[in-house]
């Protein structure tokens, strides 16, 4: 994997690297670069007045220029100076993975760029949104802290199978909407599918609620006062349409707080309300308030029940530090609803400090794992704090039969085979010829002929979170969607249009022969009557050089007619005229 000589990218674990794709910079067409240039010029022209101040200087800090799509190397060279990195991926990736990239201080950037028909806004992630939206604000230290901390919290969040179904529906619709030849019936069906899944999520999971906080801050956040807010959310910063309309009075502005969790969102529509934070510190405080309610903080019965509801790989952390990873299927509670026994089904693993214990991977624990939780009867000190000498004083020896009775009434009796200790804590005891049963109910949890019994040590469950403790060991294959983004195939007519854009770009950048442009304009009028962007670029050159005034008038006349007859591009063309009259200077040159 190319790490771009960036420390943050180089530190990514293997299970995240599987989402990374090559940027293939050479695949960007001259039209793609023209789209980037148009959006960036609009952003610089408009956002300098409504964006949070560090946005404009932040563009340069992120390695971005007006004139061309950034390469990953350029971005990593710049972001590396502020302790961040960037990689490209194929469209939407699962929220948990997206969050974890943030925790590693790596920006996830969709390699594709929006098509000209969606130049104002696209529901699909693209390089404009990810790089020109997210990257420039990272230079603000407290916002960078918030982003990486959010990633850490998000990587621990419980999600549900319905969350992943919703993710797939969003991904499918975004891909279809970005396909130039997509069947309208397919889009309509995908929209219905997404709406159905949104309305039938049931009680939102921790990940669903976190996604709302992420949406209303990182993507669509405003900062300042309700009377004079500024934009910092990447979804707004990268949308030349909604960045303007969001400031209208009909878009309600509300103070940002933990109550924002109650507002769902629709990625396919303009937002009816936005939330304003007075500062980035407030974002961190609200996130911390929500984190205190999450399973990875609360642990215990709350966390274990969430893990069972999740029906996916989760990890429970015992008070000794031992981490049990697997699909949790059962929990035994005492009269106070405190866990006294836990059980996973299917491949499971044991870890400590996120590193899998030798010999305790999912191949060894292929059929699941179970263990009592709690203190030993008649002992105030938790078992994890015992030392080998304490065992000897109790008459317990390796290789000898022994009995452990817990306060709950669960009894483990067998021959002690081995003990694993980590950082002066007992974390695992292994037995042979072992029987585990509840002396009160008579229920048997383990029989001697089943083999070795490995018993986790810990008097309580401190934390429960989604995913494996040692992801690289437990989950070598990432959950990557089988639905891939659309790869453009160009017919001969479109290839000729790309060549016209190339000629115009060459004239503008390298002061090539302006005499080539009249024939380019003729070709646009006769072969590519729907184009408006290349025409604007030719007009820009003529207006700034004073050459071919009669052709400039012709282009303006044609473009005005297009704007009058096609409302979808009216604002785009008029904004293009404004950019020509009020040129912006590249951030670097």
pLDDT in tens, 436-466: 999 999 999 999 999 999 999 999 999 999 9
Which CATH number does the domain housing residue 41 bear?
1.10.800.10
- Give the pairing type, strands 273-277 and 222-224: parallel
Residue 128 near residue 34 (C-beta atoms within 8 A): no
Whether 500 has a pLDDT exceeding 90, the answer reads yes
> Into how many domains does the chain fold?
3
Residue 407 assigned as binding residue: no
Q: What is the pLDDT of residue 159?
A: 83
Beta bridge partner(s), residue 464: 316
Q: Are residues 150 and 269 in the same domain?
A: yes
Place of tokens 């309580």: 460
Q: What is the pLDDT of residue 586?
A: 60
Phi, psi of 542, rounded to the nearest 5 degrees? -60, -45
Q: Are residues 316 and 451 in the same domain?
A: yes
Residue 129 assigned as binding residue: yes
Using CA atoms in the order 500, 504, 506, 509, what is the torsion angle rounded to 10 degrees? -160
Place of tokens 């609009």: 42
DSSP annotation of 352:
E
User: What residues contact residue 75 under an 8 Å CB cut-off, 6+ apart?
Assistant: 62, 63, 64, 86, 107, 109, 131, 135
Q: What is the mean pLDDT of the chain?
A: 90
- Alpha-carbon distance of 569 to 241, in angstroms, equals 11
Residue 196 lies in a domain: no
Look up residue 144 and give its two tokens: 């960078």
- Give the pairing type, strands 461-466 and 444-446: unpaired
Q: Are residues 429 and 530 in the same domain?
A: no
Q: Are residues 461 and 515 in the same domain?
A: no
Comparing CA positions, the residue from 39, 16, 221, 232 lying closest to residue 108 is 16
Secondary element (H or E) of residue 495: helix 492-510
Given 423, 443, 474, the domain boundary residue is: 474
Per-residue pLDDT tens for 141-189?
999 999 999 999 999 999 876 776 776 777 677 667 666 677 888 878 8
Per-residue pLDDT tens for 228-285?
999 999 989 888 778 888 989 999 999 999 999 999 888 778 899 999 999 999 999 9
Q: What is the pLDDT of residue 229?
A: 96
Residue 77 near residue 8 (C-beta atoms within 8 A): no
Residue 2 lies in a domain: no
CA dihedral (434, 437, 442, 443) positive or negative: negative
- Alpha-carbon distance of 515 to 394, in angstroms, equals 98
- Alpha-carbon distance of 310 to 480, in angstroms, equals 19
The answer for 455, left when phi > 0, alpha when psi is -120 to 50, beta otherwise, is beta
Q: What is the pLDDT of residue 589?
A: 41
Q: Are residues 458 and 505 in the same domain?
A: no
3-state secondary structure of 268: coil
Per-residue pLDDT tens for 326-363?
999 999 999 999 999 999 999 999 999 999 999 999 99
**In whole angstroms, what separates CA 357 from the centre of its chain?**
29
Residue 72 near residue 52 (C-beta atoms within 8 A): no
- Alpha-carbon distance of 114 to 125, in angstroms, equals 8
Q: Are residues 352 and 217 in the same domain?
A: no
Q: For 237, how many CA atoms within 13 A lie in the half-sphere containing its CB?
A: 32
Residue 257 near residue 286 (C-beta atoms within 8 A): yes
Per-residue pLDDT tens for 50-77?
899 888 888 888 989 999 999 999 999 9
Q: Are residues 319 and 259 in the same domain?
A: no
Residue 452 lies in a domain: yes
The residue range of the domain holding 524 is 492-581
Q: Are residues 436 and 499 in the same domain?
A: no
Residue 180 lies in a domain: no
Per-residue pLDDT tens for 385-426?
998 788 888 888 999 999 999 999 999 999 999 999 999 999
Per-residue CA distances from 171 to 115, 194, 480 (Å):
17, 10, 12
Residue 285 lies in a domain: no
Q: Are residues 522 and 464 in the same domain?
A: no
Q: Are residues 403 and 432 in the same domain?
A: yes
- Give the pairing type, strands 273-277 and 453-456: unpaired
Q: What is the pLDDT of residue 402?
A: 95
Place of tokens 């993975």: 97
Q: Are residues 352 and 216 in the same domain?
A: no
Whether 486 has a pLDDT exceeding 70, the answer reads no
Residue 175 lies in a domain: no
The answer for 378, left when phi > 0, alpha when psi is -120 to 50, beta otherwise, is left
Look up residue 70 and give its two tokens: 């950034």
> Regarding predicted confidence, which is higher, 381 or 57?
381
- Alpha-carbon distance of 351 to 321, in angstroms, equals 9
Whether 208 has a pLDDT exceeding 90, the answer reads no
Residue 219 assigned as binding residue: yes
Q: Are residues 467 and 498 in the same domain?
A: no
Residue 189 lies in a domain: no
């Amino acid at each position: 994997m190319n790490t771009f000589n960036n420390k943050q990218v180089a530190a990514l674990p293997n299970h995240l690297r599987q989402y990374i794709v090559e940027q293939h910079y050479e695949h960007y067409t001259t039209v793609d670069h023209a789209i980037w240039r148009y959006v960036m010029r609009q952003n610089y022209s408009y956002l300098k007045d409504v964006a949070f101040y560090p946005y404009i200087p932040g563009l340069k800090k992120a390695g971005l220029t007006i004139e061309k799509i950034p390469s990953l190397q350029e971005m990593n060279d710049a972001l590396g100076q502020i302790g961040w990195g960037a990689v490209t991926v194929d469209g939407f990736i699962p929220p948990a993975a997206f969050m974890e990239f943030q925790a590693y201080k790596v920006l996830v950037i969709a390699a594709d760029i929006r098509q000209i028909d969606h130049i104002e806004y696209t529901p699909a992630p693209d390089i404009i949104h990810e790089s020109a939206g997210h990257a420039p604000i990272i230079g603000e230290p407290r916002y960078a802290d918030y982003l990486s901390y959010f990633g850490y919290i998000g990587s621990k969040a419980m999600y549900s199978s319905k969350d992943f179904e919703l993710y797939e529906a969003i991904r499918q619709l975004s891909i279809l909407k970005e396909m130039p030849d997509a069947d309208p019936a397919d889009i309509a069906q995908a929209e219905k599918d997404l709406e159905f899944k949104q309305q039938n999520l049931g009680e939102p999971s921790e990940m669903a609620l976190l996604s709302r906080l992420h949406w209303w801050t990182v993507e669509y956040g405003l900062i300042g006062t309700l009377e004079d807010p500024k934009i910092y959310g990447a979804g707004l910063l990268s949308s030349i349409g909604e960045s303007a309309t969001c400031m209208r009075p009909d878009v309600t502005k509300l103070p940002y707080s933990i109550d924002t969790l109650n507002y769902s969102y629709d990625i396919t529509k303009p937002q009816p309300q936005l939330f304003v934070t007075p500062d980035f510190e407030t974002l961190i405080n609200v996130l911390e308030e929500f984190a205190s309610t999450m399973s990875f903080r609360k642990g215990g019965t709350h966390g274990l029940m969430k893990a069972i509801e999740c029906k996916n790989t989760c990890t429970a952390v015992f008070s000794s530090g031992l981490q049990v990873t697997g699909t949790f299927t059962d929990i035994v509670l005492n009269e106070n609803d405190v866990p006294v026994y836990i059980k996973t089904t299917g491949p499971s693993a044991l870890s400590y400090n996120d590193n899998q214990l030798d010999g305790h991977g999912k191949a060894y624990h292929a059929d699941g794992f179970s263990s009592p939780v709690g203190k030993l009867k008649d002992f105030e000190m938790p078992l994890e704090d015992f030392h080998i000498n304490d065992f000897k004083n109790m008459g317990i020896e390796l290789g000898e039969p022994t009995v452990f009775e817990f306060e709950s009434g669960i009894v483990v009796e067998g021959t002690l085979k081995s003990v694993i200790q980590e950082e002066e804590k007992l974390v695992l005891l292994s037995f042979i010829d072992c029987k585990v049963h509840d002396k009160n109910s008579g229920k048997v949890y383990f029989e001697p002929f089943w083999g070795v019994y490995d018993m986790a040590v810990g008097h309580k469950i401190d934390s429960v979170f989604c995913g494996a403790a040692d992801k690289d060991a437990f989950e070598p294959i990432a959950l990557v969607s089988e639905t891939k983004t659309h790869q453009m195939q160009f017919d001969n007519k479109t290839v000729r249009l790309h060549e016209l854009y190339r000629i115009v770009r060459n004239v503008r950048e390298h002061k090539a022969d302006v005499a080539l442009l009249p024939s380019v304009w003729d070709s646009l009028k006769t072969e590519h009557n729907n184009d408006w962007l290349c025409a604007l670029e030719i007009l820009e050159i003529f207006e700034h050089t004073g050459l071919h005034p009669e052709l400039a008038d012709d282009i303006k006349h044609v473009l005005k007619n297009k704007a009058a007859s096609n409302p979808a591009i009216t604002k785009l063309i008029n904004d293009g005229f404004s950019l020509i009259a009020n040129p912006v200077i590249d951030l670097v040159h």
